């Protein structure tokens, strides 16, 4: 059995952090989708597994295991699914919440016989601890039903009120309803995650048809595939790839006109300013990523500006301001004025989107400190230039 789910971010529902089940429905819910929708159930065929009667028939008021007996894996199973590219893994929860099948009779049963044959009336009325789910289809030679399963590996059964010779002889059209408990996709890297769950079939197994019916297979393997398609799209603002640093008070970003006025003040006061600049962008993001630098020139651990006149270099701090839907992976705090490092460093500047954000504003800030501006002014008139590449990398796992 193949079970699939995927996560794709949605501008219409940015708060969404759940997978969408993409498994094609089969079995009971295809025949009667309204009933399944009402019961909150999706169904899938059980790989063609059937169960055949092995004795001469059913005995009235028999031991439950000698009647129409079904045990299903209603308790949650945890499955490890692994990213096929990175090897990272997460845990997926799965449980059966319904079972559907059809039993066949050799003789023609009147509709009333389907009701009168069984303790507790017809098969549409599930015995405890199972519950009623959907409707039953009756013909003269078969009856299809669905029972709702509790959150435990419970057995549910019906026994005959009368002796039945050689029938019901076959149980087929088996399908299960199921629930998936998926991890938070916003905490997962993009990619395809796969894993499997092997269920035993037979007496004492995960799926058990009792002792009076033999299953056509002894194992049922469920293959799970989770697909995560994160978005990480950065769009620079117009002109943002060229930044002119301006003299400006601490913590401020000044326009060119404000910068000219501040240089005029410096001519009078001789109080050395700092230089700042900003490159704005919008970011669409739904997953994890890291941000780091590559520099054309550097001084120590920072990118550098270089003098046209002398080749003198001065360090420049580069920091990032991220949209409010993005948080630091380790601290959970929003990201404002975070200094960026040269090169990708393990555990440093790892961020994740707590909700999907589309085209949300952010910026890269540049700062030359006051003491380094003194160095620059010593060679005036002069121009200092530098090139910085800011890398947004989604492949951090």
Is the model's pLDDT at 187 over the cut of 90?
Answer: no
Q: Would you state the pLDDT for residue 369?
A: 96
Is the model's pLDDT at 394 over the cut of 90?
Answer: no
Collect all residues with Cβ–Cβ distance below 8 Å to 9 and sequence separation of at least 6: 16, 229, 230, 231, 284, 286, 356, 358
- Tens of pLDDT, residue by residue over 75-128, are 999 999 999 988 999 999 999 999 999 999 998 888 888 889 999 998 999 999
Specify the DSSP class assigned to residue 85: T
- Compute CA distances 216 → 27, 46, 208, 381, whole Å: 18, 11, 12, 89
The position carrying tokens 């009078």 is 268
Q: Would you state the pLDDT for residue 292?
A: 96
Position with higher pLDDT, 226 vs 40: 226
Confidence category of residue 39, pLDDT binned at 50, 70, 90:
low
Confidence category of residue 140, pLDDT binned at 50, 70, 90:
confident
- 281-308 per-residue burial string, b: 16 or more CB within 10 A, e: under 16: bbbbbbbbbbbbbebebbeeebbbbbbe
Is the model's pLDDT at 192 over the cut of 70?
Answer: yes
Confidence category of residue 397, pLDDT binned at 50, 70, 90:
very low
The candidate with the shortest Cα–Cα distance to 285, out of 344, 360, 347, 336, is 360
- Compute CA distances 94 → 41, 222, 225, 345, 356, whole Å: 13, 10, 13, 37, 26
- The distance from CA 349 to its chain's CA centroid, rounded to whole angstroms, is 22
- Tens of pLDDT, residue by residue over 207-253, are 999 999 999 999 999 999 999 988 889 999 999 999 999 999 888 99
Q: Would you state the pLDDT for residue 134?
A: 65
The CATH class, in words, for 232-393 is mainly beta
- Tens of pLDDT, residue by residue over 333-377, are 999 999 999 998 877 899 998 888 889 999 999 999 999 999 999
- Tens of pLDDT, residue by residue over 248-303, are 988 899 999 999 999 999 999 999 999 999 999 999 988 889 999 999 999 999 99
Specify the DSSP class assigned to residue 76: -
> Do the beta carbons of residue 40 and residue 34 sit within 8 Å?
no
End-to-end, the C-alpha distance of the chain in Å comes to: 29
**Antiparallel, parallel or unpaired: β 170-181 and 20-21:** unpaired
Position with higher pLDDT, 91 vs 16: 91
Beta-carbon count within 10 A of 152 CB: 13
Q: Please say whether the dihedral angle defined by the alpha carbons of residues 22, 27, 32 and 38, taken in this order, is positive or negative.
A: negative
Q: Would you state the pLDDT for residue 395?
A: 66
Collect all residues with Cβ–Cβ distance below 8 Å to 243 and sequence separation of at least 6: 277, 278, 279, 366
Cα 277 from Cα 260, distance rounded (Å): 14
Is the model's pLDDT at 148 over the cut of 90?
Answer: yes
Is the model's pLDDT at 306 over the cut of 90?
Answer: yes
Is the model's pLDDT at 396 over the cut of 90?
Answer: no
Structural domain boundaries in the chain: 2-228, 232-393
Report the half-sphere exposure of 130 (CA within 13 A, side-chain side).
Answer: 32
- The distance from CA 212 to its chain's CA centroid, rounded to whole angstroms, is 42
């Amino acid at each position: 059995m193949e079970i699939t789910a995927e996560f794709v971010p949605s501008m219409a529902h940015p708060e969404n952090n759940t997978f969408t089940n993409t498994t094609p429905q089969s079995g009971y819910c295809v025949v009667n989708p309204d009933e399944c929708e009402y019961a909150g159930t999706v169904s899938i065929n059980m790989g063609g597994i059937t169960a055949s009667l092995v004795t001469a028939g059913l005995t009235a008021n028999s031991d439950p295991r000698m009647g129409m007996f079904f045990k299903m894996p209603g308790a949650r199973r945890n499955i490890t699914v692994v990213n096929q590219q990175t090897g990272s893994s997460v845990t997926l929860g799965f449980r059966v919440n319904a079972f559907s099948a059809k039993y066949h009779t050799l003789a023609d049963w009147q509709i009333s016989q389907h009701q009168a044959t069984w303790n507790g009336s017809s098969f549409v009325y599930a015995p405890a601890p199972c519950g009623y789910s959907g409707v039953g289809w009756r013909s003269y030679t078969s009856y299809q039903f669905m029972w709702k399963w509790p959150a435990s590996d419970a057995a549910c059964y019906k026994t005959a009120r009368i002796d039945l010779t050689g029938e019901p002889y076959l149980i087929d059209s088996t399908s299960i309803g199921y629930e998936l408990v998926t991890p938070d996709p916003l905490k997962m890297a993009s990619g395809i995650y796969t894993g499997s769950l092997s269920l035993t079939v037979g007496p004492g197994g995960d799926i058990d048809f009792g002792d009076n019916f033999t299953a056509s297979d002894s194992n049922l393997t469920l293959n799970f595939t989770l697909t995560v398609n994160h978005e990480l799209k950065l769009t620079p603002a117009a002109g943002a790839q060229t930044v002119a640093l301006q003299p400006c008070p601490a913590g401020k970003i000044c326009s060119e006109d404000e910068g000219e006025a501040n240089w005029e003040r410096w001519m009078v006061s001789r109080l050395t300013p700092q230089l700042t600049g900003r490159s704005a962008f919008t970011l669409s993001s739904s997953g994890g990523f890291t941000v780091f630098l590559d520099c054309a020139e550097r001084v120590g651990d920072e990118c550098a500006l270089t003098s046209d006149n002398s080749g003198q270099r001065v360090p420049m701090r580069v920091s990032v301001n991220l949209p409010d839907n993005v948080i630091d992976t380790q601290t959970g705090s929003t990201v404002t004025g975070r200094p960026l490092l040269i090169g990708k460093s393990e555990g440093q500047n790892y961020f994740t989107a707590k909700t999907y954000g589309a085209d949300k504003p952010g910026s890269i800030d540049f700062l030359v400190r006051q003491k380094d501006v003194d160095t620059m002014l010593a060679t005036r008139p002069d121009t200092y230039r530098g090139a910085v590449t800011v890398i947004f990398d989604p492949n951090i796992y």
